[in-house]
Amino acid sequence: MQHSTIAAIATAPGQGGIAVVRLSGPESYLVAERVFTPANPKKTVAGAKGYTALFGRFCQAGECFDEGVALFFRAPHSYTGEDVVELSCHGGDAVARRLVEACIQAGAAPAGPGEYTRRALLNGKLSLTQAEAVMDLISAGGRQGAALANAALSGALARKIEARRQALTALQAHLTAWVDFPEEDVPALEQDHLKEELTAAAEELDGLIAGYGAGAVLREGVDCAIVGRPNAGKSTLLNLLAGFDRAIVTPVAGTTRDVVEQSVQLGEIRLNLFDTAGLRQTEDPIEAEGIRRSWRKLEEAGLILAVFDGAEDLSDEDRELARRCAGRPALALINKEDKPPRLDPAEIAPCFQKVISVSCKEESSRPLIEQGVSELLGTNRVDPHAASLSGQRQLAAAVRARDALREALSAIEMGFGLDAISVCMDDALAALCDLTGENASEAVINEVFERFCVGK
Amino acid sequence: MIQLGEYDVIVIGAGHAGIEAAHAAAVLGAKTAVFTMSLDAVGNMPCNPSIGGTAKGTLVREVDALGGLMGLAADATYLQSRMLNRGKGPAVHALRVQTDRKRYHMYMKHALERTPGLAIHQAEITDILVEQGRVAGVVTQLHGVYKAKCVVIATGTNLGGKIFVGDAWYASGPDGMHASTALTESLKAAGLPLRRFKTGTPARVHRRSIDFDKLERQPGDPDDQLQPFSFMTDAPMHNRVECWVAYTNPETHKIILDNIHRSPLYGGMIEGVGPRYCPSIEDKVVRFAGKDRHPLFVEPCGEDTEEMYLQGASSSLPEDVQNAFYHSIRGFEHLEIMRPAYAIEYDCVDPTSLEPTLESKIVRGLYGAGQFNGTSGYEEAAAQGLLAGLNAARNALGLSQLVLPRQSSYLGTLVDDLVTKGVMDPYRMMTSRSEYRLTLRQDNADQRLTPIGREYGLVGEDRWEKYQHTQALLEAERRRLQESHLKTEPLREAMVAAGLTPAQQGGVAAELLRRPEISYPLVAGIIGWGEGITPLLAERLETEIKYAGYIARQDRMIHEVARQEKTLIPADFDYQGLTGLTLEAREKLAQIRPRNLGQAGRVPGVSPSDIAQLSIALAAARAQQAKKEESPRD
């Protein structure tokens, strides 16, 4: 059976030790190969047998963001009866979501409601009773999904998409009238106007796609790692943010040995906080493991709060930390503002997107941190009433529309005929209509007859 | 009543649909009869004297590729030929010819007469005989009974025809044919869901009354660029006539608006729904008040007549108003109308009551084609006629039916639209109706359909041989273009000579042809024309190469759709049990009864989640079926 390869998070939403992203379809192994690199260089995804597992790293666009295990199933011996790869990454919505995004970039399609089960049934993996139960579920889920999609679309996004869809429909109708009624005096479409409209639509979609990240942070929160060398004040910061003594805070270096998880609301954003073991060289194997985990948290976090002791000189460990924060969504907090300053912020500033001085013991530092985080994540620029995409389905449709528009623009650049351009526009319109739920082809044809005086 | 004959297939009507239906059925070896109210009206063109145009030209090539007659007739009787949309991209190139309408009629009448196994009768059919839900024969107005296993209805605007001019109206078909009203009652009694549609035609005027000096000339293409419709036509072509363009003006529009209340369209006398793409002049003036002129095309009706056709000026206004507004047009000051413009209303069937084979779901063995199915246009009619005739013959002979998938052809798209979505107004084929238009081009219709025509018995030895020969030529040339290398200097020289910015360096011919500015003739000027490669074939090769990326993209879509179409839905599938579907989706599906999951997804009002559930229910039903078969003694 020749059809698409789908990807979705298979585990329940929310915090858990691990999350599983499941790929199913003929290209599962191909997609997995693009997002998963086995730790053992002798092993390959393509060569993996069914019912085996590999340990390795998950990557997106060449950047590795987590490590975990891939479980392989070969058709027909899998849940769906197709080639299946299950990717187990670390728990937390953000990581799993990023992994799904990576899979979609690598060629998978987001799974529709009940699609795994549907495939399982079609491939004879479920009994009739099971199938009927599933149908009820899909029916409920489909309704709910439709209601949710409508709700999501009822506001600003719907207006924005609808305006673009109408503009494109008008262009397409013009092209159609011009092509299908060559003898009528339908004016040729100005190429500059066409390019302008296509570019404007593509740029608006770019904005929506870029805003998806910040919007997702607002809706779903962000995984936040608190890092810093021992006794810099990480746990004090956690307590400041959480509002009660969550972590053990003692002046003895190395008391926090494990990643401590805590969800706190910082302004509009939910931070899933991970306090981490102080980063230093240690002989203690338990502490060493804690430190290893701290570094990993830093790699995969959506936000890093790096705490430095402002009353001490910059240590080698601090420099190492700063180096690791470079290019990451990291905020440097120079703690112990109340003590005489010895650390020079200018030395670490190039590695961070933002540096602020705080005193983690003081409640008054909280709004400063809140503002810094909001600026760093771009959530201060998100107007909650402005248009934003929600969910993988909408994101995928927007990306599809944007890519088709870019393809149309490149066809114009290369001097292709308007027939090729209009086919790309068809695709873009179909993707936008997926968002608004209207049939693209009918919309274009109706518009032709409303706007152009054509016919014998 | 006396039984006068017995046939496998009877075709009612010998217009563009009836001709192809009768011809196809007879070629397949079915004992066939075609009935027409007048043998002098076989293949009549009651509207514009032309064949082809955008999307329609592709339909003609498809009919030809399948072994039909229309392309051959157009090639034999054209007066002027033009390729429309040159410069708008190869996917939308469209061949259109002006035709000598009398010669076209004679050609078609003769073609039917020479078809072995085809009986031709002049008689009006007043009744269809139905026995236990299946058609059994027809009755003529002379009370003659002809039995038949299958019947094709191709009645055009004659069925319940009613002509309107101003406040005058009378029951009539086009060009003085009388209306067939008895048959309407018989079809209604058989349970067919009939409805009223409307169309119109402009005036025919005398050539000597037109001041051509005041009109724009519209010549055909140069003789050396002319292309035939038929893949079988090799004779050199020659344009014989010119057409002209006139324009309405504000004075014309004022006369029409001042008298609009005298139009039956606006007076509420006409109940039929008119085609949106073919508005009458009064419609254009009312709906597009901002436009200060509309073009009218002046086209000769033939070489042995002085009658001229005024394309773009169809009307149902009274004769005195027609005279007044035509006379207000520059060049038409002294216009003599020979046949006034009129609107015509007629009966047709709701096409969602048809299978994609064009067989009625209500009366088995009964097929419909052309205007009866809710379409408009000679080409749309011919294409359906061919499919209906072929399937009627195969039905009568006990052979499997042909369903052309949407992605195979404009014909397949047309039929899928008709039977899946239904029509609100007379349906015209347009390029934008096909999402696969880069693949479904007029130049490759033979490649897409001739093998199917061969498999289903319509394509004869000569056409099959020529097709295979052409395929071999194309294949050899594709190879040669892959293997030929163009040196930098000759390429740059040729490009400069052609007024192009020269390329940096030479390369493999097939690679160079991917660039929009490099044409096959330019490349052939250096490496020579391929053996047997005509300009038409050259264009096809060039399009294949230039559009390879876009075509591959459509191929992927086609593949995905074809997969969904493999999941078949039993004809008696019970949708009422699917309580998860919306009521609307259930009702629509039960009415349309799609044949497969792909078609089900295109039914209006059916959502992707409905389809997901339907596919599960289908799999469940199959599983149950399999279980039953395992234990037959249950």
Residues B614 and B545 in one domain: no
CA distance B223 to B229: 15
Residues B615 and B515 in one domain: no
A189 belongs to a structural domain: yes
Per-residue model confidence as pLDDT tens digits over B427-458: 999 888 888 888 999 999 999 999 999 999 99
Which band of pLDDT confidence, cut at 50, 70 and 90, is reported for residue B104?
very high
Is A361 annotated in a binding site? The answer is no
B548 interface with A at CB cutoff 8 Å: no
A449 interface with B at CB cutoff 8 Å: yes
**Is the pLDDT reported for residue B277 higher than 90?**
no
A134, A178, A449 member nearest B276 (Cβ):
A449
| 3-state SS assignment for residue A21 | strand
| 3-state SS assignment for residue B505 | coil
Query: How many whole angstroms from its chain centre is CA B93?
Result: 16
Of B554, B578, B608, the residue that ends a domain is B554
Residues A74 and A15 in one domain: yes
B91 interface with A at CB cutoff 8 Å: yes
Residues B48 and B141 in one domain: yes
Closest of B72, B158, B60 to residue B107, by C-alpha: B72
Name the burial class of residue A26, with classes exposed (0-12), middle (13-18) and buried (19+) by CB atoms within 10 angstroms of its CB: middle
Predicted pLDDT of residue B27: 98
Predicted pLDDT of residue B156: 96
Name the burial class of residue B262, with classes exposed (0-12), middle (13-18) and buried (19+) by CB atoms within 10 angstroms of its CB: middle
Predicted pLDDT of residue A441: 55
Tell me which residues of chain B, numbers 562 to 591, contact chain A at a CB-CB cutoff of 8 Å. Answer: 563, 579-581
A456 belongs to a structural domain: no
Is residue B142 within 8 Å of B121, Cβ to Cβ?
Answer: no
Predicted pLDDT of residue A314: 85
Is B275 annotated in a binding site? The answer is yes
Predicted pLDDT of residue B130: 98
Residues A206 and A267 in one domain: no
Closest of B25, B27, B42, B29 to residue B150, by C-alpha: B25
Predicted pLDDT of residue B566: 85
CA distance B454 to B267: 52
Q: Chain A to chain B, count of Cβ pairs less than 8 Å apart?
A: 159
A118: chain B residues, CB-CB within 8 Å: 612, 615-616
Predicted pLDDT of residue A131: 56
Residue B182's identity, in one-letter code, is A
A445: chain B residues, CB-CB within 8 Å: 430, 432-433
Is A52 annotated in a binding site? The answer is no
Per-residue model confidence as pLDDT tens digits over B211-250: 999 999 999 999 988 999 999 998 899 999 999 999 999 9
- CATH number of the domain bearing residue A54: 3.30.1360.120
Smallest CA–CA separation between A327 and chain B, in Å? 37
A137 interface with B at CB cutoff 8 Å: no
- From first CA to last CA, the distance across chain B in angstroms is 52
A90 belongs to a structural domain: yes
Model ipTM? 0.78
A172: chain B residues, CB-CB within 8 Å: 432
Boundaries of domain holding A282: 221-381
| 3-state SS assignment for residue A335 | strand
Which pair of structure tokens corresponds to residue A6? 């789908």
Of B455, B480, B500, the residue that ends a domain is B455
Is residue B177 within 8 Å of B171, Cβ to Cβ?
Answer: no
Arithmetic mean of pLDDT, B357-371: 98
Range in A229-243, B184-198, B613-627 the model is least confident about: B613-627
Is residue B305 within 8 Å of B102, Cβ to Cβ?
Answer: yes
Is B585 annotated in a binding site? The answer is no
Inspect the interface and report whether the beta carbons of B312 and A456 lie closer than 8 Å: yes
B247 belongs to a structural domain: no
B93 belongs to a structural domain: yes
Sign of CA dihedral A131, A133, A139, A144: negative
Range in A270-274, B177-181, B194-198, B458-462 the model is least confident about: A270-274
Of A355, A381, A407, the residue that ends a domain is A381
B290 interface with A at CB cutoff 8 Å: no
Which pair of structure tokens corresponds to residue A196? 């302008």
Residues B396 and B351 in one domain: yes
User: Residue-wise over A144-169: b if at least 16 C-beta within 10 A, else e?
Assistant: ebbeebeebbeeebbebbeebbeebb
Inspect the interface and report whether the beta carbons of A417 and B433 lie closer than 8 Å: no
Which band of pLDDT confidence, cut at 50, 70 and 90, is reported for residue B146?
very high
Smallest CA–CA separation between B196 and chain A, in Å? 21
Arithmetic mean of pLDDT, B338-343: 95
The total domain count for chain B is 3
Is residue B351 within 8 Å of B422, Cβ to Cβ?
Answer: yes
Q: In chain B, which residue's Cα lies nearest the Cα of A139?
A: B580
Closest of B46, B45, B49, B61 to residue B94, by C-alpha: B61
Tell me which residues of chain A, numbers 416 to 435, contact chain B at a CB-CB cutoff of 8 Å. Answer: 416-420, 422-424, 426
Inspect the interface and report whether the beta carbons of A142 and B85 lie closer than 8 Å: no
Residues A267 and A175 in one domain: no
CA distance A394 to A213: 13
Residue A152's identity, in one-letter code, is A
Is A234 annotated in a binding site? The answer is yes
Residues B544 and B597 in one domain: no
DSSP letters along A116-176, please?
HHHHHHHTT-S-HHHHHHHHHHHHHHHHHHHHHHHHHHSSHHHHHHHHHHHHHHHHHHHHH
Among A217-231, B62-76, B523-537, the range with the most confident prediction by mean pLDDT is: B62-76
CA distance A4 to A107: 9
Sign of CA dihedral A337, A339, A340, A346: negative
CA distance A27 to A38: 18
Is B116 annotated in a binding site? The answer is no
A122 interface with B at CB cutoff 8 Å: yes
Which pair of structure tokens corresponds to residue A173? 């109708």
A444: chain B residues, CB-CB within 8 Å: 432
CA distance A353 to A332: 8
A200 belongs to a structural domain: yes
Contacts of residue B372, defined as CB under 8 A and 6 or more positions apart, other chains included, come to: B17, B153, B154, B155, B156, B159, B348, B349
Closest of B418, B410, B402 to residue B435, by C-alpha: B410
DSSP letters along B388-451, please?
HHHHHHHHHTT-PPP---GGG-HHHHHHHIIIII--SS-B---GGG-TTTTTS-STTHHHHHHH
A144 belongs to a structural domain: no
Q: In chain B, which residue's Cα lies nearest the Cα of A173?
A: B432
Give the 3-state secondary structure of A159-208.
Answer: HHHHHHHHHHHHHHHHHHHHHHCCCCCCCCCCHHHHHHHHHHHHHHHHHH
Boundaries of domain holding B609: 566-630
Predicted pLDDT of residue A113: 60
Contacts of residue B629, defined as CB under 8 A and 6 or more positions apart, other chains included, come to: none
Per the prediction, chain B carries an average pLDDT of 92
Inspect the interface and report whether the beta carbons of A139 and B613 lie closer than 8 Å: yes
Residues A180 and A262 in one domain: no
Which pair of structure tokens corresponds to residue B630? 């395992």
Q: In chain A, which residue's Cα lies nearest the Cα of B430?
A: A180
- CATH number of the domain bearing residue B467: 1.10.10.1800
If you ran DSSP here, which 8-state letter would residue B306 be given? -
Of B522, B554, B586, the residue that ends a domain is B554
B365 belongs to a structural domain: yes
**pLDDT, block means (10 residues), chain A with 456 residues:** 75 73 93 93 91 92 87 89 92 81 87 71 62 52 42 60 85 85 79 91 86 70 81 81 54 46 73 66 69 73 88 85 85 86 84 87 86 81 60 76 92 84 87 66 59 50
B432, B613, B619 member nearest A441 (Cβ):
B432
B298 belongs to a structural domain: no
B55: chain A residues, CB-CB within 8 Å: 180
Name the burial class of residue B63, with classes exposed (0-12), middle (13-18) and buried (19+) by CB atoms within 10 angstroms of its CB: buried
Smallest CA–CA separation between B54 and chain A, in Å? 5
| 3-state SS assignment for residue A398 | helix
Which pair of structure tokens corresponds to residue B293? 């002129």
Predicted pLDDT of residue A259: 54
- CATH number of the domain bearing residue A253: 3.40.50.300
Contacts of residue B622, defined as CB under 8 A and 6 or more positions apart, other chains included, come to: none
